[in-house]
Chains A and B, each alone.
Chain A
Amino acid sequence: MSARVAIVVFPGSNCEIDCRRAFNSLGAETTMVWHAEKSLPETDLVVLPGGFAHGDYLRTGAIARFSPIMESVHAHAGDGGYVIGICNGFQVLCEAGLLPGALRKNAGLKFLCKWVDLRVDDSTSPLTRRAEQGRVLKVPINHFEGNWYCEPDVLESMRSRGQIVLRYVDNPNGSLDDAACIVNEARNVMGLMPHPERACDVLLGSTDGAVLFESILDSIAVPAAAT
């Protein structure tokens, strides 16, 4: 059976179609879910895509976390279901408290739109299990607020649990500990600033993003053994 992927669309989201296309190309079934819905369809994975949800007013993700659908996203995550937040979706997950920390304005105050190299520092997460440790993936970034921060004691415990799964090889935005992709303690909620959906086709210059999406589809098909 194909994996079922629900992509949440907020007013101001703009990467949902790229996400749908990427997941469809990898054999998954996708459904778009408007943010004002109260419930999710039966799904294996919830994706919060990139964009500018609710205009990013006040703070990125600050209003989106109160969208009606978010209660169901919390419940899905609480039941161990997979959730991925990409770029703005990552910001929403941090504001919602589903991931630790917060995203600040980029160091240097530049909007960054470029290809970056990401090093796989933990190949046991659901999003990285197809990539060997140390592998470098080429994936684009496109953000102004990607400078992740958390309190020092939180960072220490995250490091000891391998919750920072991808790091920038050359940190573009000031993100603490070079973090590009983090997972929660239960390892079912993931957030990353880079856009894997824009690196799933040779025509786009890289298929390294597909490694990440194939990993999560693998994880749905064959859950990792409990450790």
Chain B
Amino acid sequence: MNYSARVNVMLKDGIADPQGQTIERALPALGYAGIEDVRVGKLIELTLDAPDPQEARRRVLEMCEKLLANPVIESYEVTIQ
């Protein structure tokens, strides 16, 4: 059975995000006031064959630990459909 997985990778809380900071400084220049807490991450989509959604999730979490995220500086969330 094929499952679609979405992996959101974000810098961990407390880790400075220069991209987010740059966007946060740029938005007011376009007239958007009151902008704060801009954070930039990655969205990774993939399709995988697995016997059930639990196994699909387990495999994607393993992929996150091994490759998709760097646990030293990044956190991740996995959604399986």
Contact = CB atoms under 8 A, between A and B. Distances in A.
A102 interface: yes
The range of chain B's interface size is 10 to 19
15 contacts: A58-B67, A94-B72, A102-B70, A104-B11, A104-B15, A104-B16, A104-B73, A105-B18, A105-B19, A107-B16, A109-B19, A109-B22, A151-B72, A174-B16, A174-B18
A58 B11 CA distance: 14
Describe B's contact surface by its main secondary structure: mixed
A223 interface: no
Describe A's contact surface by its main secondary structure: loop
Nearest to A59: B70
A104 B20 CA distance: 13
Given A62-B70, A106-B18, A109-B22, 20 more contacts: A58-B68, A59-B70, A62-B67, A94-B72, A95-B70, A101-B72, A102-B70, A102-B72, A104-B11, A104-B15, A107-B18, A108-B18, A109-B18, A109-B19, A147-B18, A149-B72, A149-B73, A150-B72, A151-B72, A174-B16
A214 B70 CA distance: 34
A104 B15 CA distance: 9
